[in-house]
Chain A
């Protein structure tokens, strides 16, 4: 299957980016060096092309009802311009994808939402929304606009200055998880104070055809998916398809440490199953691990107890560029999940000592 290309594929190639396949997209993984890009975001500002993320709009008299019944969080608390992190679960409460739900300004047709499925999940989620809408007889238009919108993330302590220069000072007034329309280089953009790095920052959605003008409006370090991964791992943020996946790593929101997105006093697919999980408690929990020996933990490596019994697996790991320490994320039985518990990570056949830690790994975040 041919890879999907972000609108600026060739612009990035001309800038010397290296590329990788991710979620069916051909995306820049590294522009200069992961370490340099990572440091720019932690210390100043960097920009990511995240046009591989899905965009689905839901508009109409029953848009709120449809969103409420297909996501775990409570969309009725959102005013236009608000957003929330949420899970999309199946009947068993297993996470299919995680997403940010934005409430757009009301449309003539009714209330209006935009949600962001992960790369490669847009078609599946579009079908899920359409199928359930029809099954439930709801009145809402569902549009998959993934191939009509580019998406950039401008992240770092200096992001507000840069975005205010490009989009007008009004964006400074946005609180975390707030968003509004703003014009950048003549293009109408949806500018949201959201991100995936742990730093202050903005995500900007713009028309596909205006992508180059909008990208060029931000004069800062371009960053690839490599730095995006090291930044989010330092924060302990989940990566769809890796830290949870309905096939390879089926997890519910309580195991995954995102129970705060589940509002059991709302009606949604998976609610009853999750109510039982919450009442009974989980058997495994998502934890941070710090290696005490030299080595780099990576996805799929076994975690063992001190008697060499396999008790879990690393779902994400890296050498933390900020800390200079090897860190990992993964699920462990609750009896091993307390911070300070000693375990081992098996790195290419060798046992490396590790200890369970809380996340984020960065202390001041």
Chain B
């Protein structure tokens, strides 16, 4: 019922990240955007901020709920999706594409191994 692309890793708290050495993209899952409903506001870090795996990096708010965002991996923020400030609904419309949130240059490639595979994440949200 919910889309869970094969080419990413997932957090139990419903963030996704692409994988690899270069900057990776991070966002929230299709399941998460559906649970939240209409997203109306996102608060994201600044370029250059350092993130630590598992720490809060921002907030997403829908009409009915507020949810913290947690970093899937440690690293430096290299880009922020500023389109979301004017069009937060992109998170609902395209959570894995135009609704991405930040790009991070990961500092420890091993951290990806601790994240959920698409199969494991799908089991969690079943």
Contact = CB atoms under 8 A, between A and B. Distances in A.
A34 B64 contact: yes
A296 B59 CA distance: 11
Contacts of B122: none
Contacts, number: 36
Contacts of B89: 35
A226 B59 CA distance: 21
Contacts of A30: 37, 64
Given A30-B64, A34-B64, A348-B59, A296 B37 contact: no
B2 interface: no
A296 B64 contact: no
Contact of B37 (A226, A295, A298, A348): A226
Pairs A-B, 3 closest by C-beta atoms: A319-B40, A35-B38, A34-B63
15 contacts: A30-B37, A30-B64, A33-B37, A33-B92, A34-B63, A35-B38, A35-B63, A226-B37, A294-B41, A295-B61, A296-B40, A298-B66, A319-B40, A319-B41, A348-B66
B41 A295 contact: yes
Given A226-B64, A294-B85, A33 B38 contact: yes
A29 B85 contact: no
Contacts of B41: 294-296, 319
Interface in B14-41: 37-38, 40-41
A230 interface: yes
A15 to B, nearest CB: 15
A29 B61 CA distance: 17
Nearest to A324: B40
Contacts of B64: 29-30, 34, 226
Contacts of A319: 40-41, 61, 63
Interface string B34-76: 0001101100000000000000000101011010000000000
A183 to B, nearest CB: 37
A353 B41 CA distance: 16
B85 A34 contact: no
Contacts of A230: 63
A210 interface: no
Interface of A: 18, 29-30, 33-35, 226, 230, 294-296, 298, 318-319, 321, 348
A35 B37 CA distance: 9
A298 B6 CA distance: 37
Interface residues of B, number: 12
Given A296-B61, A348-B59, A34 B66 contact: no
Contacts of A226: 37, 63-64
A226 B36 CA distance: 12
> Which of A18, A29, A295, A296 has the most B CB atoms < 10 Å from its CB?
A296
Interface string B68-101: 0000000000000000010001001000000000
A31 to B, nearest CB: 11
B21 to A, nearest CB: 34
Given A230-B63, A296-B41, A319-B63, 18 more contacts: A18-B37, A30-B64, A33-B37, A34-B38, A34-B63, A34-B64, A35-B63, A35-B89, A226-B64, A294-B85, A295-B41, A296-B61, A296-B66, A298-B66, A319-B40, A319-B41, A321-B38, A348-B59
A319 B64 CA distance: 9
Nearest to A348: B59
A34 to B, nearest CB: 5
B43 to A, nearest CB: 8
A295 B89 CA distance: 15
Nearest to A294: B41
Nearest to B85: A294
A38 to B, nearest CB: 9
A171 B5 CA distance: 52
Nearest to B42: A294
Contacts of A29: 64
